[in-house]
Structure 1
Amino acid sequence: MAFWSCSHSRAAAPAEPEKFAPVAAAAPAQGRRIRTTGTVEALRSFTISVPRISGQQQGNLTLTKLALNGTKVQPGDIIAEFDHTSQIKSARDAEAKFDDLSHQVEQKAAEHQSNAAKRAADLAQAEADLGKARLEIRKGPVLSELEHLKADEVLKNAELHVASLKISIPAHERAEAAELQVLKLQAERQKLTLMRLQGDADKLVLRATIPGMIALQNVWRNNSMGHAQEGDQLWPGNPLLRIFDPSSMLLQLAVSETDGAILRPGAKAVVHLDAYPSLTFSAHFDSASPVASSALGSPLKTFTARFILEQNDPHLLPDLSAAADVDPGN
């Protein structure tokens, strides 16, 4: 029986695989609309962070002044200030030390000039004495032997004195030049320290860089997230606020990968703000990410699309959630 079962299985013909007709991908139908969600953002914005102070190892900065949320500003307007008492005190001390070193350089230069003039006078006097000694030695035939020996000794001493001065004067000049250069380098280094401290004090006064409106950012304060307030201790580098131009706003949408074909030039969108359900705005397609992406651990992929809002309304503010009905157009 076992032999018959095996031979029967080998004799059976293999079944042919089933054939399936290819199915073409369905194109989006004309007039088909999709609804998706996103957030309102400014087309032009600039983020202001808590400044970083050079040379600061650790610690935070105390906020002493902050513009109100929604304030309209122009370039150069002060929008925030931090406590800069320490920087101003250090800058004043550095300035006093720099002035002292500058006076030392001037005093040392004047002293070296006086010493150079004195050495030049000593050399001139030594050369005059040498010339006088040479004249005396020429009187040898009329001088006694003792006087001749004295004149010869005076001549030798004069020659040695002149030679010694000619060797020592350049050495003194090099030493004084090096001493003066050391003081100049110390003054220059102190000047750089002063400039750094003054720059640190200027960094603690934040000014607007573009015209627009202020939107305060959420920061970590008092064991919770919220807008910064005067007197808060803030860590350098943390975002403090954002300046945006309210005259040009856009809508950032997340469109599913299956609806990506609707994102094309000419696409329109009807926008509804969640915070103001009665308001409706229109927008047109501007751009989209070339590749769909997904969040970590999620199998759903979406395209990031940007639609430019066509109206200018004070209700359009950054980070507002919105729903949009997207129409592919013609």
Structure 2
Amino acid sequence: MVRAAARLPLFFLAASLVAGFLLRAPRSQRVDSEAARQSPRARTAVAATGELVKSLRIGGTIGTLRSAAIRAPELRGSHVVGWAVLTLVRLADAGSSVEAGDVVAEFELKRLEDHIADLQSYVTQAQASLRKRRSEIRILQGAWQHEALRARAESAKAVLGLPTAEVLSAIEAEILRMAAAVARARGKRQAEVERLRALVIAADLGYFDVWIRKELLHIERHSRDYKRLRMKTPIGGMVIRETIFNRSGEYAQVKAGDRINSGALFMRIADTSQMVVRAMVNQVDARTIRVGNRAVVQLDAYPGLRFSGHVAEMAALASPRRGTRSAGRMFIRQIPVRILIEDKDKRVLPGLSASVDVIVSMGQRGVLIPREALQHETGQQAGTFVRVAEGGEYRKRHIAVQGLSDTEALIRSGLAPGEQVLLKGLPRDQRR
């Protein structure tokens, strides 16, 4: 009995180990089966008959052939009234489509409206003051005219009394002549006073008139500025908002409420009807490209998607390679080119990266495969070979290559159209 009791714990321990193994076995088998299903498949290509096309591959960025830069308006006299910085109150949504003449942005209008109203009130007051001044001048002119008439009358009286000097005593005659001279002098002085008064009146009224005209021009200028604060696009296209430093000190996309410096770029309108790839070509390769060469455009964001195009523009001058600061690399020159995308597709958006195969020349026809499928070996069996799918395996087969392009190989012998070749690597179960 004691031995049987001692064996019971050993029995239960062995039973638990067996049960644990049985429970774990299905899980491991399930993991192995999932790994087998998820193993990567080999990349292959099918040999096809075609014409070897020699091309030059370049990289670039998608853009538009035509675009419009929208900048904050520069208002006249902004340094005086504090409008060097403007506040955005409304702008078109990013990515939306607009037509030529649509309002795409609007800046704060209230302050300018108040300023124009103040100027108009100043002009109204000045015009009232001018009318009052003219009335006062007319009253003064009446008094001055009466004074001038009296002076002329006294002068005429003195002159008329001169003939009586012959019958008067010498003293009385001299007094009469002196009175006539004084009257003539007063007449001349009165004429000069009238001339100076006319100049003063003209200057006084002219000052009011010039000031009023200046303020009217001021109002007209701000009225034009008022229209410019509601900005319209000169072309139709897609709205692209620029990134700026906002009031929070963050570098973010512009939005309503941001303060924009006068003349600063804050939006672009991209005409998406004509899309291009902006690229740089090395000066050595540029000699093989001509305007009008056909091209095939591929987007990095959409692998396998191809678009037809052609070289639309080539710059006349080369520029240093970007990012080359050392003196030696400054000799690396590149030429800007633009490739026009002929196909229309909504997936072609400004700013996407793209690769372009510019067709340089057309070659002979034959069996074509991707250049990536070619492999080389050295030794006694030195040569070029590919791995061809045969009976569920990829078998080595030596071939003769007739020509190469950047992406394709023209096969002279050893491969027939329709055969499947391995592009890269070898399935794990076939490695030896």
Please give the range of the TM-score, normalised by the shorter of the 2 chains: 0.7 to 0.9
Taking structure 1 as reference, are residues 253 and 163 closer, same or farther at Cα in structure 2, changes over 3 Å only? Answer: closer
2:260 maps to amino acid = L
After superposition, residues 103-122 of structure 1 pair within 5 angstroms as: 103-122=128-147
Instruction: Answer yes or no: is the 8 Å Cα contact 1:267–1:329 preserved in 2.
Output: no
CA 1:154–1:223 in 2, change beyond 3 Å: closer, same or farther?
closer
SS at match of 2:302: coil
Aligned to 2:325: 297
- 1:224 pairs with 227, 250, 254, which one? 250
2:309–2:342 contact (8 Å) kept in structure 1: yes
Matches within 5 A, 1:305-316: 305-316=337-348
What is the aligned partner in structure 2 of residue 24 from structure 1?
A: none
Q: Distance in 2 between matches of 1:293 and 1:135?
A: 101
Is 2:243–2:253's contact at 8 Å kept on the other side of the alignment? yes
Give the TM-score taking structure 1 as reference length.
0.77
Matched residue, 1:25: none
Do the aligned partners of residues 37 and 142 (structure 1) sit closer, same or farther apart at CA in structure 2, a change above 3 Å counting? same
Corresponding residue number in structure 1 for 2:62: 40
Aligned residues with identical type, % of pairs: 26
1:322 aligns to 2:348 (yes or no): no
* SS at 1:105 equivalent: helix
Are the equivalent residues in 2 in contact too, given 1:263–1:305 (CA < 8 A)? Answer: no
Residue 272 of structure 1 deviates from its aligned partner by 1.4
Gapped runs of 5+ residues in structure 1?
A: 1-29
- Deviation at residue 238 of structure 1 after TM alignment: 2.7
- Alignment partner, residue 171 of structure 1: 196
Distance 2:281 2:73 in 1: 37
Aligned residue in 2 for 1:247:
273
Secondary structure at 1:186 match in 2: helix
Higher strand share: 2
Structure-2 separation of matches of 1:226 and 1:297: 29
1:285 equivalent to 2:311? Answer yes
Report which of the two structures shows the higher radius of gyration computed on alpha carbons. Answer: 2
Using a 3 Å threshold, how does the CA distance of structure 1 residues 43 and 141 change in structure 2: closer, same or farther?
Answer: same
Cα 1:173–1:64, aligned 2, differ >3 Å: closer, same or farther?
same
TM-score (norm 2): 0.60
What are structure 2's unaligned runs of at least 5 residues? 1-51, 363-432
CA change 1:50–1:266 in 2 (3 A) is: closer
Q: Which moved more, 1:35-44 or 1:232-241?
A: 232-241
Give the deviation of 1:246 after TM superposition.
Answer: 1.8
Partner Cα distance (2:96, 2:125) in 1: 46
Match of 1:68 among 76, 93, 101: 93
- The 5 A counterparts of 1:203-222 are 203-221=228-246, 222=248
Indicate the SS of the match to 1:31. strand
- Alpha-carbon distance change, 154 to 259 in structure 1, aligned in 2, over 3 angstroms: closer
CA gap of 1:265–1:235, structure 2 versus 1, over 3 A, is closer
1:69 is displaced (CA, Å) by 1.7
Determine which structure has greater relative contact order: mean sequence separation of CA pairs < 8 Å that are 6+ residues apart, divided by chain length. 1
The superposition leaves residues 23-61 of structure 1 with CA deviations (integer Å, 9 ceiling, x where unpaired) of xxxxxxx83223221112111111012233333368632
